[in-house]
């Protein structure tokens, strides 16, 4: 398998892939505009922050997989990839601890004015009185917006510091609910209740249309007048003009790791009124940038590529979660060559589209069962035709 790396990955991860027979081409300086001219002939593309556009994927004559070495996939045109039949996979959760550590670091730094006092000391100024006005964190309330892997890790660290953690009551998996209960997270009826209760609000939401600009003037008006806002998620989540107004008109402060208009590369000049604001503690989009996190993400990236090499797909974000279907067929059959091809031919003759399909072998490998989700009208004539096929044992239909 030929793999193009448009961003860096650890040497050990790349060597592991090469040891498995993959050809790995490292071009970490490529930009989004460069990709279309370089991606042809590669089976897989690995990126971290480089944007992957529709034209880049269209130029990938052999491209079947794009891997985001990290969690968020908002820099990849996932819809165009789906239209082209290209898998987009990510590596979720591997950097959760690192981002949570930074979120808590910003909480502490904001409360104790660490960045400002360091800057003053370096400039030769000593002002104990000015920096002795910290509120303290023990017994305060942290509202977490987005209780995914990072939100959970942040909650655990906050609770260990004696901070009460609250979040919005939403539908969640049993494992997440159990983890929240173990930590002691309290659920409140809605977002408004969380914002009203929280001394600190920490954002851990994905990027995308649903969250762009969610922290607007209305959101900020529902927070306490002296609350702290922490953002280690996505810059576009915050309406920066609205936050600047709130910082100027209230006692709010903020700890920000991500901005809407960051330099496209790791270095460069920045002209941000929000970053310059004296009530904002700033880091340089480094939430996932620890050695531990980078190694964990690299390992997860290799796992995605190795599974793809064997025909398996893990962590895919652009497959239909609930395919359009009108019925499910269960076809029990003898495990013989050509049985499923005959079944599919009958479905085609009735203009039925297969939305999803699986085939499982019974113990002993004599018989199997195919489960086929279809879109279209299933009638008795079709069922009789499938039932009459050689080596078909029985067929049942279940309408959805």
The H-assigned helical ranges of the chain are 11-19, 54-59, 78-83, 96-112, 114-122, 149-160, 174-183, 191-197, 217-221, 240-249, 273-276, 291-309, 339-349, 380-387
DSSP letter (8 states) at residue 330: E
How far is residue 174 from each of residues 47, 66, 118, 179, 340, measured CA to CA in Å?
Answer: 32, 30, 44, 9, 37
Determine whether 256 is exposed, middle or buried from the number of CB atoms within 10 Å of its CB (0-12, 13-18, 19+): buried
Helix, strand, coil percent content, the chain, rounded in steps of 5 = 35, 20, 45
Residue 264 sits at the vertex; the CA angle it makes with 261 and 269, to the nearest 5 degrees, is 70
Q: From CA 344, how far away is CA 347, in angstroms rounded?
A: 5
In this structure, what DSSP letter does residue 183 have?
Answer: H
262 part of the active site: yes
Rounded-to-integer distance, Cα 203 and Cα 241, Å: 17
- The label of the residue with tokens 């082209």 reads 84
Question: Is residue 83 flagged as an active site residue?
Answer: no
- H-helix or E-strand containing 398? strand 392-399
Max distance between CA atoms of the chain, in angstroms, equals 91
Tally of residues, the chain? 400
Active-site option among 80, 112, 234, 333:
234
Of residues 308, 368, 303, the one with CA closest to residue 334: 368
Token representation of residue 29: 């300086």
Contact 49, 75 (CB under 8 A): yes
Q: Which region holds residue 289: left if phi is over 0, alpha if psi is between -120 and 50, else beta?
A: beta
Q: Is the dihedral of CA 155, 156, 161, 163 positive or negative?
A: positive
Q: Give the C-alpha separation, 71 to 89, whole Å.
A: 9
Which listed residue (51, 284, 285, 336) is catalytic? 285
Query: Does 234 qualify as catalytic in the annotation?
Result: yes
CB 386 within 8 A of CB 343: yes
Torsion, CA 78, CA 80, CA 81, CA 82, rounded to 10: 90
Q: Which of 58, 262, 295, 303 is catalytic?
A: 262
The residues carrying an active-site annotation are 234, 262, 285
């Amino acid at each position: 398998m030929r793999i193009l790396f448009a961003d860096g990955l650890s040497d050990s991860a790349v060597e592991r892939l090469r040891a498995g027979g993959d050809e790995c081409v490292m071009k970490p300086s490529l930009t989004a505009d460069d990709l279309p001219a370089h991606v042809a002939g590669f089976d897989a593309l690995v990126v971290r922050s480089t944007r992957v556009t529709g034209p880049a994927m269209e130029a990938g004559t052999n491209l079947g997989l794009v891997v985001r070495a990290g969690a968020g996939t908002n820099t990849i045109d996932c819809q165009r990839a789906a239209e082209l039949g290209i898998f987009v996979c990510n590596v979720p959760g591997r950097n959760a601890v690192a981002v949570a550590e930074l979120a808590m670091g910003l909480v502490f730094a904001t409360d104790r004015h660490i960045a400002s006092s360091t800057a003053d000391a370096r400039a030769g100024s000593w002002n104990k009185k000015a920096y002795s006005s910290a509120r303290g964190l023990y017994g305060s309330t942290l509202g977490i917006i987005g209780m995914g892997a990072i939100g959970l890790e942040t909650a655990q660290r906050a609770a260990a510091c004696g901070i009460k953690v609250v979040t919005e009551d939403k539908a969640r998996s049993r494992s997440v609910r159990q983890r929240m209960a173990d930590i002691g997270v309290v659920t409140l009826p809605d977002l408004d209740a969380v914002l009203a209760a929280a001394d600190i609000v920490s954002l851990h939401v994905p990027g995308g249309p649903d969250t762009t600009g969610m922290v607007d003037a209305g959101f900020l008006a529902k927070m306490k007048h002296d609350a702290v806002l922490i953002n280690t998620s996505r810059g576009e989540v915050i309406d920066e003009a609205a936050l600047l107004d709130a910082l100027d008109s209230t006692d709010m402060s903020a700890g920000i790791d991500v901005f809407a208009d960051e330099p496209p590369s790791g270095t460069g000049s920045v002209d941000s009124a929000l970053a310059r604001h004296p009530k904002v503690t700033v880091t340089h989009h480094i939430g996932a940038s620890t050695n531990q996190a980078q190694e964990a993400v690299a390992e997860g990236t290799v796992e995605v590529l190795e599974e793809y090499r064997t025909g398996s797909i893990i962590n895919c974000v652009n497959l239909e979660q609930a395919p359009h279907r009108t019925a499910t067929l269960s076809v029990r059959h003898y495990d013989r060559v050509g049985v499923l091809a005959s079944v599919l031919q009958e479905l085609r003759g009735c203009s039925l589209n297969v939305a999803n399909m699986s085939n499982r072998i019974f113990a002993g490998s004599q018989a199997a069962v195919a489960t086929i989700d279809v879109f279209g009208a299933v009638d008795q004539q079709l069922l009789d035709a499938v039932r009459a096929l050689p080596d078909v044992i029985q067929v049942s239909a279940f309408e959805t």
